[in-house]
Amino acid sequence: MRNQKAKRNLEDTYLIVGFGNPGKGYQNTRHNLGFKAVDLFCSQLGLHLSNRRFQALSSSTNYHGKKVVVACPQTFMNLSGLSVKYLFDYYTPEVRNLMVIHDDLDLGVGRLKIVRGGGAGGHHGVESVIFHLMTNEFNRIRIGVGRPRYDEPIEDFVLSPPYEDQKKPIKDILYSVVEAIELFIMNGVESAMNKFNSLTMREKEVER
């Protein structure tokens, strides 16, 4: 009976992690869209990231009968996996219940893509998670930031704010990211993929 209860607890625990860099200087950069998505999710649930353990800002709640832990690592991007490992070891969710949210250069602005498994695609935060968890079988929400227009070095590009004409579609897509998180928790990653992977903000506006 105890083992069955423990199994149910693991199955009903979800870990949602947004990536970014700590500090006001990074707050509005492309690399911090994972932080922004988690902040928006928390604001809609009335949560505050007040727990400072695990080298992260985190909080937890009961969401439709499921334990949901949300976190923003404070290790800087390239070491994000260290914080995820600490969180993962403490809360012990199943790998399939881990969702990482991050910016993505290979997606256009106003797009998101939900994936499970696969490589890091050159994203150092995802590389760090794969290294520390020793698996790539977790889920990710990739938020499109596109490529530099003006031949900026990639490091400068991701550590800069979006171009003026990109700010609104990026702000809008963050609401879709929050919806995707909710659907992931309620119905699983496949359901979230089916709804959001073919969606752009233009299509969504027409749909409304």
pLDDT of residue 11: 64
* CATH architecture assignment, domain 2-207: 3-Layer(aba) Sandwich (3.40)
Q: What is the pLDDT of residue 198?
A: 76
Radius of gyration in angstroms for the set of CA atoms belonging to the chain, rounded to a whole number: 16
Q: Global pTM?
A: 0.90
Catalytic residue, chosen from 31, 102, 123, 132, is 31
Task: Give the pLDDT of the chain (208 residues) as one tens digit per residue.
Answer: 445 444 445 568 999 999 999 999 999 999 999 999 999 999 999 999 999 999 999 999 999 999 999 999 999 999 999 999 999 999 999 999 999 999 999 999 999 999 999 999 899 999 999 999 999 999 999 999 999 999 999 999 999 999 999 999 999 999 999 999 999 999 999 999 999 997 765 444 333 3
Decide: 181 and 189 in contact? Cβ < 8 Å.
no
What are the backbone angles phi and psi of residue 104, rounded to the nearest 5°?
A: -145, 125
Pairing of strands 13-18, 98-104: parallel
Confidence at residue 201, expressed as pLDDT on a 0 to 100 scale = 57
Confidence (pLDDT) at 10: 56
Instruction: For residue 48, indicate whether it is catalytic.
Output: no
| Predicted pLDDT of residue 186 | 95
What lies within 8 Å, CB to CB, of 187 at 6+ separation is: none
Tell me the two tokens of residue 54: 């695990």
Question: If residue 186 lies in a helix (H) or strand (E), which one and from where to where?
Answer: helix 167-187
Sign of CA dihedral 36, 40, 43, 47: negative
* Domain residue ranges of the chain, discontinuous segments joined by +: 2-207
